[in-house]
Amino acid sequence: MSEYKRPTSEAAFHQNFEQIKPLMNDTEAYYESSRCLFCYDAPCIKACPTGIDIPLFIRQINTGNLKGSAKTIYESNHFGNVCGKVCPTEVLCEGACVYNEQNVKPIEIGRLQSHSTTKAIQDNTKLFTSLPENGKKIAVIGAGPAGIAAACELRLFGYEVDIFEAKAQPSGLALHGTAPYKITNAEVLEEMQYLEAQFGFNTHYNKKINSAAEARELEEKYDAIFLGIGLGGTRSARIEGEDFENCEGATEFIETLKLAPLKAAVGKRVVVIGGGNTAMDAASESSRMGASEVTLLYRRAKEEMPAYEFELDLAKGVGVRAVFNVQPLAVLGDGKVEGIRSIRTESKDGKLSNIAGTEFDIACDMVIKATGQEKQRNFLDTLNVAYDNSGRIEVDEHFRCGKTKYFAAGDAVNGGAEVVNACAEAKKAAQGIHQFLS
């Protein structure tokens, strides 16, 4: 049973979606940074996909050198602020912190990272100087974490960079997807403004690159093209009734919630299908939006669930009920969701099967499908860029797409991971472009 009331004002929305990793004040940051053991061969660095020198930036905070600490972070990760708040630190840097071995709370690395980078953003601290223009131009398709990280890195080498973004706002799923209790939209956009001012790339919004003609034009005009296009809309659940009113894809539901929270339609009794992190987010968010009953249905056992354990705990903490080994069969209703029919499943020798005669119905007025995101195969065909059987762009060790002038990174290449992975890969891809053009 949810404890939340449907928010009817911005203030009530922010109260329901209170930050789970709030900003530290200077005293808290000082004491927390004092706890760090500044380990030799620090495991926290190895666990960070962008390899931030974590003990160094923590020591810089501790000695009052906030500018230096922000530089240490941004040198490795152009999305230093967003990542401080949305990274699954529990399974990355903080999960690797040596304090865990002593059953002591690990250093709050994410919150320290946010402390230092927020100060740099608020003061518009100049940290980087790009090389003089080198006369070459790069087009970036997609202003998500991958596209923006690539643009920052390319500007450091002196390339002119034009980003083409389909949507009206930047930052991809960091803005349109991440849970509002992890980061506010304002924080995501402030980091983007900071990066734009710092690095000087050009972003063209509402500019979806769609056709072969547009692609050929970019190929002629630019020396290389970086693809940071991410993934597509929610994949079909392939069940009867999924086109009914109030049956929605999770990414679409979350995007509406993030852009117009007070207009987002949330049912009273919500069923979420899926066992990934997006399913956990959609369930938590429905509950915080005032749904009185939220049920998660996952077709396999709890141990097989792809979502992180802490994400499930977050959902359970706001009243979500999780049911495992259940396969949805059909959305029930007369053109509008009235319930969902499911069947129990079992795993034998790794094979999942339905248990005959165990069908049951749950009454609900909304179904959210968190069944994964489509790949952008049609667009890649238009570009003549190769992809594997599961639709992921094929790249070499420099993130180049075959022998073309295309390079790619982020979700479109890794199939869907985290913001920090997109940033780490995009930085390497930008270095690959520089090597290719040098």
Candidates 23, 56, 98, 386: give the one binding ligand SF4 (CB under 6 A).
98
Between residue 93 and residue 152, which ones bind ligand FAD under the rule CB under 6 A?
A: 141-147
Place of tokens 């990066």: 195
Candidates 20, 37, 104, 197: give the one binding ligand SF4 (CB under 6 A).
37
Q: How far apart are CA 426 and CA 351, in angstroms?
A: 37
- Whose Cβ is closer to ligand SF4: residue 45's or residue 380's? 45
R_g of the chain computed on alpha carbons:
23
Size of the site for ligand SF4 (CB under 6 A): 14
Candidates 86, 279, 294, 366: give the one binding ligand FAD (CB under 6 A).
86
Point out which span in 92-100, 138-146, 365-373, 418-426 binds ligand SF4 (CB under 6 A).
92-100
- Find out whether 398 and 406 touch, Cβ atoms under 8 Å: no
Contact letters (x/-) for ligand FAD, 239-278, by CB under 6 A?
------------x--x-----------------------x
Q: How far apart are CA 256 and CA 175, in angstroms?
A: 11
- Whose Cβ is closer to ligand SF4: residue 108's or residue 411's? 108
Own/partner contacts of 237-243, CB < 8 Å, gap of 24 or more, are 237/273, 237/328, 237/369, 237/371, 239/328, 239/329, 239/330, 239/331, 240/329, 240/330, 240/331, 241/330, 241/331, 241/332, 241/333, 241/337, 242/331, 242/367, 242/369
* Shortest spacing between CB 42 and ligand SF4, in angstroms: 4
Size of the site for ligand FAD (CB under 6 A): 38
The first and second tokens of residue 229, run together, are 């296009």
**109 interacts with ligand SF4 by CB under 6 A:** yes
- Whose Cβ is closer to ligand SF4: residue 107's or residue 368's? 107
- Whose Cβ is closer to ligand FAD: residue 121's or residue 393's? 393
- Whose Cβ is closer to ligand SF4: residue 56's or residue 330's? 56
The first and second tokens of residue 309, run together, are 């354990």
**314 interacts with ligand FAD by CB under 6 A:** no
Point out which span in 66-74, 284-292, 354-362, 408-416 binds ligand FAD (CB under 6 A).
408-416
Candidates 15, 31, 38, 217: give the one binding ligand SF4 (CB under 6 A).
38
* Shortest spacing between CB 94 and ligand SF4, in angstroms: 8
- Whose Cβ is closer to ligand FAD: residue 274's or residue 333's? 274
* Shortest spacing between CB 96 and ligand SF4, in angstroms: 6
Classify strands 224-227 and 247-249 as parallel, antiparallel or unpaired. unpaired
Q: How far apart are CA 251 and CA 369, in angstroms?
A: 9
Candidates 119, 167, 299, 392: give the one binding ligand FAD (CB under 6 A).
167
**54 interacts with ligand SF4 by CB under 6 A:** yes
Counts for the chain of helices (H) and strands (E), in that order:
18, 14
Contact letters (x/-) for ligand FAD, 410-429, by CB under 6 A?
xxx----xxxx-x-------
Q: Tell me the β-bridge partners of 247.
A: 367
Triad 366, 180, 408: Cα angle to 5°: 95
* Shortest spacing between CB 76 and ligand FAD, in angstroms: 15
406: left (phi over 0), alpha (psi -120 to 50) or beta: beta
- Find out whether 359 and 329 touch, Cβ atoms under 8 Å: yes
- Find out whether 118 and 85 touch, Cβ atoms under 8 Å: no
Q: CB-based burial of residue 352 (10 Å sphere; 0-12 exposed, 13-18 middle, 19+ buried)? A: middle
Candidates 8, 18, 26, 39: give the one binding ligand SF4 (CB under 6 A).
39
- Whose Cβ is closer to ligand SF4: residue 44's or residue 271's? 44
Candidates 12, 23, 43, 214: give the one binding ligand SF4 (CB under 6 A).
43
Decide which of ligand SF4, ligand FAD, none touches 208; Cβ closer than 5 to 8 Å per partner kind.
Answer: ligand FAD
- Whose Cβ is closer to ligand FAD: residue 107's or residue 229's? 229
Q: How far apart are CA 97 and CA 169, in angstroms?
A: 36
Place of tokens 């996952």: 298
Q: How far apart are CA 306 and CA 286, in angstroms?
A: 20
**166 interacts with ligand FAD by CB under 6 A:** yes
**55 interacts with ligand SF4 by CB under 6 A:** yes
The first and second tokens of residue 91, run together, are 């399974």
* Strand ranges inside 334-414, DSSP E: 337-348, 351-354, 360-363, 366-369, 406-408
Query: Interface with ligand SF4 by CB under 6 A: which residues?
Result: 36-39, 42-44, 54-55, 97-99, 107, 109
Query: Interface with ligand FAD by CB under 6 A: which residues?
Result: 86-87, 141-147, 164-167, 172-174, 177-179, 182, 208-209, 228-230, 251, 254, 278, 281, 379, 410-412, 417-420, 422
